[in-house]
């Protein structure tokens, strides 16, 4: 028989143990609830602060575009940068009334296609991008609609502070911020370029170019004025450092504003300086004359008979400024004699003439940071007639950038230097170059180019004090299958100062018309040459080229004229 006292004690102990376990479980549950409350509350506070930090209408910092480095000119002026902008999107599962949303959104954003947006909302996806690159005003108006299911993503947007000023060099990006052309594409293809440059004061990485924004502005502005003055359909120009090969400015008009990338699709806005190939006309005579001088086949005192046209098969070569008499080498140059140039090239011979142009880089593509230039068009079967016509700039087409680059050794002492759009010292450029001409050939060419401005077809290119030298080029364009006397491509190839060359300037006008400002003429000496003069007068002070005093310049020019 069991003891009742012992049984009661056991029961009491069991009850106490049960109560202890119950109190433990209760405390544990309370602790769990408290912990959950703290965690949830903390998360709510975090979200609250996050909402305050990005209170611009539900803007979320979820960037789907690449952050690109700033692009600067040689003086640190900003050419391209990123800013953060809003992209509007919808989550269809949170949209209450799709028709209302479409109506309200297209009311604020009329360029959004209502039918396409409605179809996307009904497609069943959780993310429907509606419009990128909203303006702050558009973003505020959308936010004020208060429609459930709408939100914003923060994305990088590429902007170009100087607009179209340097568009063909800087290039542009697509809507996903990927480089499409110019330096923008070069950066994507060469990511190590960004790491090699110092960071800006704001901590952003940057890429510096050889361009000088001041020079670029002048070049573009004067080309635009020339287009308007001479009623030309297009224009182009370039400024090169003769020792470093740096491109200080490059413009091709019409151009485009990379802030409005759709403009770049217009075929008339191509970069004519590197993507267009042209028969450049008489500027090619600088290479022909340099060739016979460098090969030792002629001197400045040599004479070529230009008294009558050259007849070859069914072709006739004659002079526009015909003197109808024997001409010295300087006279061939300043009167721009096609007959004299053709005879010089024949004196070199087909093989030697072609090899000389190849040595200057005129028969193959030119490669720069903008990519490969358009391929030159050269004769498939290079024969005697080709040599004669190429001597005065017909029968062979090159890019203007390529022609300007080939001119560098003619004026810098004989060293071929590859052009670059990135900073490079004169010591680096000249040191990495290749000698392709004798130094005395370069010196002779400088005399001839200055003489042409003093007494020849380039008189209107003279910029007082800056000792400009150069050569005109007037090429008849092919219309249909024939050369047209009314459709001309004019150019002026200049260097300054000719007593100590620092820069090459090339100006090109496409189909300038006969107007009063050019004396009702359409040749290069009446339009491209004065345009070059205006450009040089304005950029020389920017580049630190001091004008010579009148007395000093007369002494220099007297030496040039003495060799004539």
Mean pLDDT lowest among 146-155, 205-214, 281-290, 360-369:
146-155
What token pair was written down for 197?
Answer: 């440059």
The answer to whether the CB of 433 falls within 8 A of the CB of 446 is no
Distances (CA, A) of 484 to 3, 62, 474, 480: 134, 59, 12, 9
Bridge partners, 316 (sequence order): 311
Selection from 8, 101, 419 nearest residue 247 by Cα: 419
Q: In the chain, pLDDT over 70 holds for what percent of residues?
A: 88
pLDDT in tens, 346-400: 999 999 999 999 999 999 999 999 999 999 999 999 999 999 999 999 999 999 9
Give the active site residues.
Answer: 282
Domains of the chain: 70-208 (3.90.1310.10), 232-251+270-562 (3.40.710.10)
Mean pLDDT lowest among 98-102, 296-300, 535-539, 552-556:
552-556
In sequence order, the 6+-apart residues with CB closer than 8 A to the CB of 168 are 182, 250, 251, 252, 255, 271, 273, 274
Q: In the chain, pLDDT over 90 holds for what percent of residues?
A: 73
Distance CA 277, CA 397 (A): 5
Selection from 548, 545, 492, 447 nearest residue 248 by Cα: 545
pLDDT at position 61: 44
What token pair was written down for 475?
Answer: 């090429």
Bridge partners, 328 (sequence order): 303
pLDDT at position 481: 78
- The answer on pLDDT for 285 being more than 60 is yes
Section 534-555 average pLDDT: 90
Section 313-337 average pLDDT: 92
Mean pLDDT lowest among 77-91, 393-407, 411-425:
77-91
For the chain, the C-alpha Rg in angstroms (whole number) is: 36
- The answer on pLDDT for 10 being more than 70 is no
Section 289-317 average pLDDT: 95
> For residue 43, what pLDDT band results from cuts at 50, 70 and 90?
low
Section 524-533 average pLDDT: 98
- Calculate the average pLDDT of the chain: 89
pLDDT at position 67: 83
pLDDT at position 51: 39
pLDDT at position 60: 45
- The answer on pLDDT for 195 being more than 50 is no
């Amino acid at each position: 028989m069991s003891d009742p006292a012992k049984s009661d004690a056991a029961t009491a102990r069991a009850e106490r143990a049960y109560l202890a376990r119950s109190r433990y479980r209760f405390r544990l549950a309370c602790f769990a609830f408290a912990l959950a409350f703290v965690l949830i509350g903390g998360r709510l506070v975090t979200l609250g602060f996050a909402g305050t930090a990005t209170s611009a209408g539900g803007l979320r910092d979820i960037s789907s575009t690449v952050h690109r480095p700033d692009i600067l000119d040689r003086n640190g002026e900003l050419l391209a940068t990123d800013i953060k902008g809003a992209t509007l999107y919808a989550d269809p599962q949170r949209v209450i009334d799709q028709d209302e949303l479409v109506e309200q959104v297209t009311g604020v954003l009329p360029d959004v296609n209502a039918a396409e947006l409605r179809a996307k909302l009904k497609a069943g996806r959780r993310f429907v991008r509606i419009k990128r690159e909203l303006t702050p005003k558009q973003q505020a108006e959308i936010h004020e609609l208060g429609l459930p299911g709408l939100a914003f993503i923060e994305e990088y947007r590429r902007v170009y502070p100087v607009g179209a000023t340097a568009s063909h060099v800087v290039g542009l990006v697509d809507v996903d911020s990927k480089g499409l052309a110019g330096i923008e594409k070069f950066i994507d293809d060469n990511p190590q370029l960004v790491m090699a440059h110092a960071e800006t004061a704001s901590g952003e990485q940057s890429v510096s170019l050889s361009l000088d924004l001041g020079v670029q502005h002048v070049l573009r502005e004067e080309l635009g004025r020339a287009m308007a003055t001479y009623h030309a359909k297009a224009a182009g120009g370039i400024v090169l450092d003769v020792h470093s090969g740096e491109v200080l400015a490059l413009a091709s008009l019409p151009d485009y504003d990379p802030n409005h990338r759709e403009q770049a699709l217009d075929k008339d806005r191509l970069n004519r300086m590197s993507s267009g190939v042209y028969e450049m006309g008489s500027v090619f005579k600088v290479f022909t004359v340099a060739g016979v001088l460098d090969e030792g086949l002629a001197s400045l005192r040599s004479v070529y008979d230009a008294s009558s046209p050259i007849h070859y098969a069914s072709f006739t070569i004659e002079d526009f400024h015909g003197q109808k008499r024997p001409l010295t080498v300087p006279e061939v140059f300043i009167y721009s004699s096609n007959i004299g140039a053709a005879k010089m090239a024949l004196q070199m011979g087909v093989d030697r003439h072609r090899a000389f142009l190849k040595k200057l880089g005129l028969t193959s593509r030119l490669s720069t940071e903008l990519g490969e230039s358009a391929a030159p068009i050269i004769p498939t079967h290079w024969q005697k007639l080709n040599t004669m016509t190429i001597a005065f700039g017909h029968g062979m087409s090159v890019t203007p950038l390529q022609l300007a680059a080939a001119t560098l050794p003619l004026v810098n002492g004989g060293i071929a230097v590859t052009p670059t759009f990135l900073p490079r010292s004169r010591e680096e450029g000249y040191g990495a170059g290749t000698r392709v001409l004798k130094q005395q050939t370069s010196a002779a060419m400088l005399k001839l180019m200055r003489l042409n401005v003093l007494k020849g077809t380039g008189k209107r290119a003279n910029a007082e004090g800056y000792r400009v030298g150069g050569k005109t080029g007037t090429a008849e364009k092919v219309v249909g299958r024939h050369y047209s006397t009314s459709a001309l491509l004019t150019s002026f190839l200049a260097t300054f100062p000719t007593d100590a060359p620092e820069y090459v300037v090339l100006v090109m006008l496409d189909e300038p018309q006969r107007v009063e400002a050019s004396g009702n003429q359409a040749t290069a000496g009446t339009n491209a040459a004065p345009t070059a003069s205006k450009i040089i007068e304005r950029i020389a002070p920017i580049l630190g080229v001091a004008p010579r005093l009148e007395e000093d310049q007369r002494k220099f020019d007297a030496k040039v004229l003495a060799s004539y």
